[in-house]
Amino acid sequence: MSATYGSYGGRYVPETLIPALDELSSAWEAALADGSYRAELDHLARTYAGRPTPLTLAERFAPSNRLYLKREDLLHTGAHKLNNALGQAVLARRLGKQRIVAETGAGQHGVATATVCARFGLDCVVYMGSEDMRRQRPNVERMGLLGAEVRPVEFGTRTLK
C-alpha cells in the first residue's frame, strides 16, 4: 500500500511506529486478497450489525421529491461507526492482537469499538477529551459497561474540536 497521497503527500509518524504501521499495511493487503476476510465481515454485517439497513421514504420532509433516508441509525450501536470497528477487530484478530486502542469525540466510535471488543474478547482502551466525557456521559457509561477503559485527555481543548 502506498504511504503517500498524491504527488506531494505522505505520512509523518515517529520512527518507532514505522514497524507497527508496516505490519498493519501488510496485514491489510493480505486480508484484501483473502476472500475469507470479506466473507467474515459480510457474515458479521448480516448476523451481528443489522445489515442491510432499509431505505425509508421521507414523504413529509420533501413532499415534492422522492427523498429516501438510509437508516444507519438502526445498526447495532446506532450508527455507521460499527462498520469500521468490525473491520478493525477482524483484522486485529488476524494479527493476533489482544487490544484495540481508539479515540472518540462524541463517543459513538468509542461505543462501536467497545462493542466489537466485547464481542471478540479483546481489551479496549478509548481516549476521549475530558470535556467530551462530561458532555457525553451516557456514551462513556456504555463504553464502561462493555468493558472498555475510557481514558480522559486533559490537554488542548479536551474536546473533539
User: What is the number of alpha carbons within 13 Å of residue 50 lying toward its C-beta?
Assistant: 14
Please check the confidence at residue 5 and state whether its pLDDT lies above 80. Answer: no
Cβ contacts of 94 within 8 Å, gap of 6 or more: 27, 30, 31, 37
Please give the domain boundaries of the chain with CATH numbers for all domains.
16-153 (3.40.50.1100)
In this predicted structure, what is the pLDDT of residue 3?
60
In this predicted structure, what is the pLDDT of residue 62?
83
Please check the confidence at residue 88 and state whether its pLDDT lies above 70. Answer: yes
Give the mean model confidence (pLDDT) for residues 119-140.
97
What's the whole-model pTM score? 0.88
In this predicted structure, what is the pLDDT of residue 63?
86
Q: What is the mean pLDDT of the chain?
A: 93
Give the CA distances from residue 98 to residues 10, 92, 147, in Å, rounded to whole numbers and listed in that order.
29, 8, 14
Percent of the chain with pLDDT over 70: 94
In this predicted structure, what is the pLDDT of residue 1?
57
